[in-house]
Structure 1
């Protein structure tokens, strides 16, 4: 776990700065105590990070649950009653994991997952624009289109034009310049710039700017434009920030309904995030989804027991981790310890960080998730990929995460139905060992993303030193998701010393360099 510490430590610092305002903002948007968001971030980093099988996923309080939390606290009659539902939701997630419900995540098409990443990237950019200019009326963690203050995403941007804070804007522009310079130039010049991350430098410069301009008439940054971590006066006041469940209401039906809602939504968001994170992972790790449900369930039980918000794996923090070079789960765990240590030892220093500087960090994260080139790439893949992708993006931006994904999935299913996806013999496996372990896999005439889970499972189970023959001579329709699985597997096969022979109507190819390129150039058949 410590062999990649040189990569994980700098990445954990970036994740810490991304997570800190989001933990506080999501708690504020949820109508919960601010400290509850920090508890969820700490538990998500340390506990879930240690138990999870994901190497680069980061867990914490989720914006997608904010509306549920807000309404449930009022409906259940108080935060302590709501915490009972969080604990019960964690227990239900453990049951999901034992029942192996994690396979659900494999049944979402690649176009929808990419649409989810792009939609979240666009939302991050749109939501951070007001904070960039020092207009912080809406909580940092409110990612819904219709916000808790009654405004929507676009009206909030328009309003920010009339309330620009000169000091906050100047340091945001400086921070953005530092981040771009670090990413595009300095990291390629010397190793020291790879160890010391640009976001850390931007935050330090932001603190210094606040300190030296706090008495300036025009450039001073007001308190509501800064991070706002609760500051306890002594140990007893610190411990007093923790809340505990009121188990006297455990027999109430509405508590159990809320618990099932939390468990279902949190599990689905986690599984979708796992699928998306694995796609972003340059090393193409495959996260065990059932283990992830067990880890998330344990995290929610602990978080609920000490007053924290519900936890899921979160794509914003996970993508920041990947973009910053995180290699193992240590980056998530260390970021959790950073949250814990900082709220105990240096809350006053944290409260000098301008939110506009952190907005510049998140703008970079959002851009890398929603690069314009991705739209062109999806368009070139054809309408069967582009339509579900676009519907998912638009749905997420104008509604919320789960609604957008649901719309994209419905469109994806409709597209597959048009292609007559039903085929019970999509995969035939034949053991033809003769000395060296040999396996022959024959793909059927039509293979869709519904078959992704089974094919991925069979490929992952192949032992080392296997000779795999992949026969696609009968295949007339091969979904892009399956091609991506084969492309990812070809990289992992090298590490497992697995040789691949591809048999098609064009002949036989030993260890093809690119499945994507091969099927792109393959003659079209009807």
Structure 2
């Protein structure tokens, strides 16, 4: 780990604590939905927080057991007849992910358009919000971490909201509303100016008050029973704690079904990770770019370790990652802290953790869900034009009414259809010129630039060193899709931290497609452009024609 990570400990430690509080019930819920031992979810949470973070290049991504794999895991354990045999498939999946990282398959993540990624974030926010409402009212029939439309308890996301009305727990309702009031109060500007409230985080106050209320309500009509509490498996001593870990049964390594399941999990887990990486990078205030191939290798190492010690498969997870960002996390240290806290809680204080009402955690997740799906985001996407808004809305609806991967596929189909129609208008040519000796860099864009060119353009931008001058020539460009404009705007934001001077030519006759001022601020006047080192002083080192 880089020593610089400790410089942001003031921000990372509280964020890691919040992610820990969010992650524990999700780890348990996903294990329950997967038909696996509850402790296997805790193991996956530890591995995702400690092992994956150690090898990852993601600044704010947090890994753990993934809801998207729950159905696959449930079917796999039933088909193989043994959890220990299933662990062999988890190890195989990890090995395959490492190979995918070595083969540079991480580039796949750059081919998902921003409209679909933002649709995914909003959909996850809506799902989190809807799924937590029953928990907030004290109805916990559906386990935490079940993000599918059709639930494990036979209900769906919306029918559960009606069904919960027959099972309201008054004590849980009181805890939820008090917790929400505290979290909203903590977000106010006047609270953030008081130093003590900068140190003590709202979610921590909510959890402590939840435990206190649980004790006060004991024996009354407002009592919160164990069914409505966090339920970490409790061991009597250290040897009992170690006994909860499982070893894979490698005698099944020659079973073809084990390999098929391993390959399936590797593909699905890698796709979920790449989607989450893209989404997390969009949420990052500093607009840092995660090396996706390194991330695949880190996830592979994590799955090998998780499989060897009895854990569920892991991926980078958007719920934990977004909670990390919203809580002020700055570096990988927050994810590492969350993993260490899961380990310590399971080892030393499971009884204390089991006193936390799920209603308290529901309040925290309701706030997380709302922030991911704010109405302002829908308005902003609408202003950017139908080419952005339609795939965005379709992705949101598809994920809410199906599941993550199916919804993403439907959103991608709509986005690709739109872009294929647009591509009939103009050919695509991207030319990049560098003068590395003088640190003057130029990227010349063609008439038509779409999200299909994101990976190539991002690769060229990443070649620009610290302290350089970058001139983007869009004078011949008549159409740039929003995704590329956003990459340029994000690069500009990141350039502040790297002392890169970035300018772009006047956008003559360019269809901005409703893009905001963030790009327009990059534009310089004609006179200033003439003062920039131009192509006459530069040599062409790359030419990509499609």
Instruction: Give the TM-score range, shorter chain.
Output: over 0.9
- Match in the other structure for 1:8: 12
**1:106 to partner: Cα distance:** 0.2
Listed one character per residue, the Cα deviations across residues 291-310 of structure 1 (whole Å, up to 9, x for unaligned) are: 00010000000000010000
- Match in the other structure for 1:510: none
Q: Is the 8 A contact 1:119 1:394 kept in 2?
A: yes
Listed one character per residue, the Cα deviations across residues 336-395 of structure 1 (whole Å, up to 9, x for unaligned) are: 110110111111111110001100000000000000111111111111001110111001
Q: Is the 8 A contact 2:477 2:507 kept in 1?
A: no
**1:28 to partner: Cα distance:** 0.4
- Match in the other structure for 2:453: 451
Distance in 2, matches of 1:469 and 1:517, equals 14
Q: Is the 8 A contact 2:59 2:288 kept in 1?
A: yes
Q: Is the 8 A contact 1:60 1:313 kept in 2?
A: yes
Listed one character per residue, the Cα deviations across residues 435-477 of structure 1 (whole Å, up to 9, x for unaligned) are: 7322222100000001001111111111233222211111111
User: For residues 47-86 of structure 1, what are the structure 2 equivalents within 5 Å?
Assistant: 47-86=51-90
Q: Does 2:260 correspond to 1:257?
A: yes
**1:193 to partner: Cα distance:** 0.9
Q: Does 2:298 correspond to 1:295?
A: yes
Q: Does 2:39 correspond to 1:42?
A: no
Q: Is the 8 A contact 1:277 1:315 kept in 2?
A: yes
- Match in the other structure for 1:352: 355
- Match in the other structure for 2:503: 501
Q: Is the 8 A contact 1:421 1:446 kept in 2?
A: no
**1:505 to partner: Cα distance:** 5.4
Equivalent of 2:215, from 200, 211, 215?
Answer: 211
TM-score of the pair, normalised by structure 2:
0.92
Distance in 2, matches of 1:114 and 1:20, equals 26
Runs of 4+ in 1 over 4 A off after TM superposition: 421-425
**1:506 to partner: Cα distance:** 5.0
Q: Secondary structure at the match of 1:441?
A: strand
Q: Is the 8 A contact 1:436 1:465 kept in 2?
A: no
- Match in the other structure for 1:171: 175
Change beyond 3 A, Cα 1:234–1:164: same
Distance in 2, matches of 1:422 and 1:96, equals 35
Gaps of 5+ in 1: 508-512
Listed one character per residue, the Cα deviations across residues 148-187 of structure 1 (whole Å, up to 9, x for unaligned) are: 1111111111111111000011011111111111112554
Listed one character per residue, the Cα deviations across residues 109-134 of structure 1 (whole Å, up to 9, x for unaligned) are: 00000000000000000100100000
Gaps of 5+ in 2: 510-515, 526-546
Equivalent of 1:222, from 225, 234, 239?
Answer: 225
Change beyond 3 A, Cα 1:514–1:185: closer
**1:235 to partner: Cα distance:** 2.5
Q: Is the 8 A contact 2:427 2:447 kept in 1?
A: no
- Match in the other structure for 1:282: 285
Equivalent of 2:140, from 125, 136, 159?
Answer: 136
Listed one character per residue, the Cα deviations across residues 61-107 of structure 1 (whole Å, up to 9, x for unaligned) are: 00000000000000011101100000000000000001010000000
Q: Secondary structure at the match of 1:427?
A: strand
> Which region of structure 1 is more displaced relative to structure 2, 94-103 or 187-196?
187-196
TM-score of the pair, normalised by structure 1:
0.95
- Match in the other structure for 1:113: 117
Q: Does 2:157 correspond to 1:153?
A: yes
Q: Does 2:246 correspond to 1:243?
A: yes
Change beyond 3 A, Cα 1:233–1:422: farther
Q: Does 2:108 correspond to 1:104?
A: yes
Distance in 1, matches of 2:500 and 2:50, equals 36
Change beyond 3 A, Cα 1:455–1:46: same
Q: Secondary structure at the match of 2:6?
A: coil
Change beyond 3 A, Cα 1:329–1:61: same
Listed one character per residue, the Cα deviations across residues 275-303 of structure 1 (whole Å, up to 9, x for unaligned) are: 00000000111000000001000000000
Equivalent of 1:305, from 295, 303, 308?
Answer: 308
> How many equivalent residue pairs?
515
Q: Secondary structure at the match of 1:275?
A: helix
- Match in the other structure for 1:475: 477
Q: Secondary structure at the match of 2:484?
A: helix
**1:240 to partner: Cα distance:** 1.7
- Match in the other structure for 1:317: 320
Q: Does 2:417 correspond to 1:409?
A: no
Q: Is the 8 A contact 1:83 1:245 kept in 2?
A: yes
Q: Does 2:31 correspond to 1:31?
A: no
User: For residues 378-417 of structure 1, what are the structure 2 equivalents within 5 Å?
Assistant: 378-417=381-420
Distance in 1, matches of 2:287 and 2:111, equals 18
**1:50 to partner: Cα distance:** 1.2
Q: Secondary structure at the match of 2:158?
A: helix
Q: Is the 8 A contact 1:179 1:199 kept in 2?
A: yes
Q: Does 2:198 correspond to 1:194?
A: yes
Change beyond 3 A, Cα 1:177–1:65: same
Q: Is the 8 A contact 2:428 2:449 kept in 1?
A: no
Q: Is the 8 A contact 1:280 1:322 kept in 2?
A: yes
**1:504 to partner: Cα distance:** 2.5
Distance in 2, matches of 1:102 and 1:151, equals 36
